[in-house]
Structure 1
């Protein structure tokens, strides 16, 4: 048994980011062609495109503001024109900002999180799900966070945006399920990425001591979960919020 995404096309928003890059490489290694979305980092997008084409896959890069509905539709049109229909959509992009208390957090940060978490998810659904309905199948995967269960001080804007995203995905799972479209979320913990490896900051005992597995997860472990959900192996899983954080948060029944 293996994950086989041959003849599939996957779109990853925020593909030049720490997690997005590994997701793109992983889905390509499973056989998928890749639509690489970026906002500002065209250089990194082109480098990643070259990596994936060297693997024997097709890859295109598309610049878009994921908080802009028309740009999402334009991205869809380019993807369809160059690679055909999109089978897998991974909503990974999010706007970064400085975390602080609710009383000190600028209102604009709440707006940016709503737009990049909730509205990105809505725009992607409106753009890509209709064609999935016509084909009677597809995969929608959102990258959420363990923060949406922790609700720690200083996380309010991010947590609010991701919890709103969670609501959209759960409803979409019910609305699209009859067309064999699965809609799931992956919720990483504080994940080790290339940024940590470059700075040698992989270890953080203050965080890891509270994790049942006593370590931080890796970007590859997040990407592995995305690849599983994108595959036929996960054909009967939908509406799930799956923490990939060593048990640091555990959804209750």
Structure 2
């Protein structure tokens, strides 16, 4: 059995990042054409576009600040001008910052997380969901985090942004489900990426001992979950927050 995304087009925000580029490759290997979003790393975006061509799908590069409604609308117009429509949106981009305690965290960091988690999700929905409604088909996939359930010391800005994002996705799932659109979230744990492989930092005994599967997950395992939710095999799943972290957090009933 194969996840078949042929004749579908997926937009991946933050596609040049450690997780984003593996998501883009995986969706492409399932047959989807890819819109590669980036904000600053044009070189990596072009490398990824060449990879997509080698895989045998089409790829379009778009640049935008995901915290700007104006720029995301311009991105939508750029995509439309190429005659493309978006079937799958993967909201993966997020602003990075230095974590510290609430008493020491800069107020600007809370704003940046709200903008890149909550408002990015709102802007993407406003930009792409109306056309999905017209076609009676769509997949909205948000990349959340296990931190949204952990609430550990030092995580406050990130957790606040991602918990706000969770609210947007759950409400959106109820608002657009009647149109054949699914809206789901994936919550990675501390994930092994190419950066870890290059730096030989794949393992952390202190973290791994808390995980029931006793290891860190990989970027490919996160991308596999994205591809599944994007496919028709997940056609009756919506409103879900799915941890992909070896059981490190477990939503309760």
Query: What TM-score range do you get, normalising by the shorter chain?
Result: over 0.9
Paired position in structure 2 for 1:74: 74
Paired position in structure 1 for 2:160: 160
1:126-180 per-residue CA deviation (whole Å, 9 max, x = no partner) reads: 0000000000010000000000000000000000000000000000000000001
Q: Runs (4+) of structure 1 moved beyond 3 Å?
A: none
TM-score (structure 1 length as normaliser): 0.99
**Relative to structure 2, which stretch is displaced further, 168-177 or 53-62?**
53-62
DSSP 3-state at the match of 1:36: strand
Shift of 1:252: 0.1
Paired position in structure 1 for 2:214: 214
Whole-angstrom distance in 1 between the partners of 2:80 and 2:144: 26
Distance change (3 Å), C-alpha of 1:83 and 1:228: farther
Aligned pairs (5 A) from 1:54-133? 54-133=54-133
Query: Structure 1: 5+ residue runs without aligned partners?
Result: none
Shift of 1:80: 2.2
Shift of 1:74: 1.0
Conserved? CA contact 1:9–1:88, under 8 Å: yes
TM-score (structure 2 length as normaliser): 0.99
Number of aligned pairs?
253
Query: Structure 2: 5+ residue runs without aligned partners?
Result: none
Whole-angstrom distance in 2 between the partners of 1:9 and 1:128: 12
Whole-angstrom distance in 2 between the partners of 1:63 and 1:180: 29
Paired position in structure 2 for 1:147: 147
DSSP 3-state at the match of 1:18: coil
Pair 1:224-2:229 in alignment: no
1:88-123 per-residue CA deviation (whole Å, 9 max, x = no partner) reads: 000000000000000000000000000000000000
Whole-angstrom distance in 2 between the partners of 1:82 and 1:45: 18
Shift of 1:81: 2.2
Conserved? CA contact 1:140–1:182, under 8 Å: yes
Paired position in structure 2 for 1:205: 205
Shift of 1:188: 0.1
Shift of 1:83: 4.9
Whole-angstrom distance in 1 between the partners of 2:248 and 2:231: 26
Whole-angstrom distance in 1 between the partners of 2:103 and 2:122: 29
